[in-house]
Amino acid sequence: MARSEQQPSEAEQRSSAEQRSPEAAVPAASTAAGDAALAAGAPAPSGQAPYSDRVYRSGGGIAGGALVLALVLWLGIDALFTAHGRAPWLSLAALLFVVPLLVAYTVRPAVFAGKDQVRIRNPFRTISVPWGAMKHIRARFSTELFTHDGAKYQMWAVPVSLRQRKRSDRRMARMERSAPASSGARQAAMSFSASAADPKLAQADQAIVEMRELADRATANTEDGPAGAPVVRWAYEVIAPALAGAILLIVLIALG
């Protein structure tokens, strides 16, 4: 007597497949958990990269400042240990006055564009501006951020290079001339050249486009709630030693 064979049902086949490959359902679950954690402000689960700030700095300013700082330190320390009379004290006062200013104007400036705010670190101040408080951002002769309360903050770390902008304008003009006037080819070429991922843009203009996209994304995900206000903190770690060096230098010169 032949034995009848039962075909497994569709639910049994699905459950057996999941038992054989349990990792198939993991990515969707981990992605959903990561999105929920980021929305709640909690750290992302393991295996998923957390949100990181975009940092904008002037490479040329840092390189030039490092060279000048090394030269000043070399001359000042040499005079501090080898000179005689009042020269070591004058050298110490000059180092206290000059070194913080060099660091403040060359190495310190940076802009940190994050998920919720932009933090502008200028030579003597650090300004934290929530995206909801930002009204406009532009790059003409300098990069400037305007808030809804009428304040204006410059970004020292994002200098405007007119030379880079002219090169970018020439590239865009060539793209516009080469694209046919009919259809949407010219418009597509122009929109591509104005995107944040386009390396042909000038450095300042590309940073502006990226920060505008971050601001639009942040304000689109929030409802009509309080936008927050800018927070300004003075860089006393730069101001205090520079002021002490200036006072000491004035006293030594006056007593001399």
The domain ranges of the chain are 54-157+226-255, 162-201
| Least confident segment among 82-96, 115-129, 170-184 | 170-184
pTM, whole model, 2 decimals? Answer: 0.68
Range 244-251 average pLDDT: 95
Residue 161 has pLDDT above 80, yes or no: no
- In this predicted model, which residue has the larger pLDDT, 176 or 162? 162
- DSSP string for 67-107: HHHHHHHHHHHHHHHH--TTHHHHHHHHHHHHHHHHIIIII
- How many Å apart are CA 189 and CA 173, to the nearest integer? 10
- How many Å apart are CA 7 and CA 10, to the nearest integer? 9
> pLDDT digits over 164-223, tens only?
666 656 666 666 666 655 445 445 444 444 444 455 677 788 889 999 999 998 888 666
> pLDDT digits over 11-54, tens only?
454 444 444 433 333 333 333 344 444 333 344 444 434 456 89
